[in-house]
Amino acid sequence: MKGIAKRHILKIVDTQKTGREDFLVVEEPLEIRLAFEKGGIRHQQGISVTMRTPGHDEELALGFLFTEGMIREASQVKNVSFAAVRWKEARENVIVVELADGHEIDFKKLERHFYTTSSCGVCGKASIEAVSVQGHYDLPENAPVFSIGILHGLPAQLLREQSVFDCTGGLHGAALFDLSGRLVLSREDIGRHNALDKLIGAAFQKGLLPLSDCLILVSGRAGFELVQKSIVAGAPCMAAVGAPSSLAVELAEEAGMTLIGFLRDGQFNVYTCPERVGG
């Protein structure tokens, strides 16, 4: 299975030692490059290196670019492919997004240092202003209502979709659900922000944006960056199995998004916009 590596380990239970085979999540760097034409000359520029679990890399690149405000619609992307680098081993760790002719990016406005780790993509931001919401989607005025009963069942659905997590116990998951609780999409990655970028990138490719009548569920905590990405994608509601941060709650409230935390074991907390949670 892609994304999984095997390792012979020493297993110790109490004082008993046993040699056995274990499964590990694969973590490798992915460099995202932009290819574009400027002044009649073709350019290629690296903009990000993230530590991720291989798989759905095209979606990861597109989701990242979309949530950073660099692309807004599919017509702005001409092609996505792995780079023709010299060493075969590195070929699938460099992905190139070729922009459509006429679509320009103001790199001077990108104040972010684009090295990201698998756990925290926001760590390199130069200032809080640099991480303000990039999206142009307005959250729906007629708020969709998500049923309490349906919400309780969502974490179990996400867990059933996490095949690599089930094998290794080492991945974050992100899922998209509609109002009826139907699973629309799910993705997983060693990095929580990567899992969400893959999910949003898949929605971008399928023409599902904005996510006006959907809920995004993440398997871990809800930090600022995950809330920001969900707002950019137009999701009116985001839920997390873990806790939200204070900054995440502030951003959700400012944007008018419903933020739910600790969705597990038959209970949850609603931190913002409770009118979207019904009986």
Catalytic residue positions?
120
Joined tokens for residue 188: 């997983």
* 41-52 vs 115-116, strand pairing mode: parallel
9 C-beta neighbours (distance < 10 Å), count: 12
CA distance 175 to 62: 17
Cβ atoms within 10 Å, residue 217: 24
Short-list 131, 147, 119, CA closest to 239: 147
CA separation for the pair 156, 104 (Å, rounded): 43
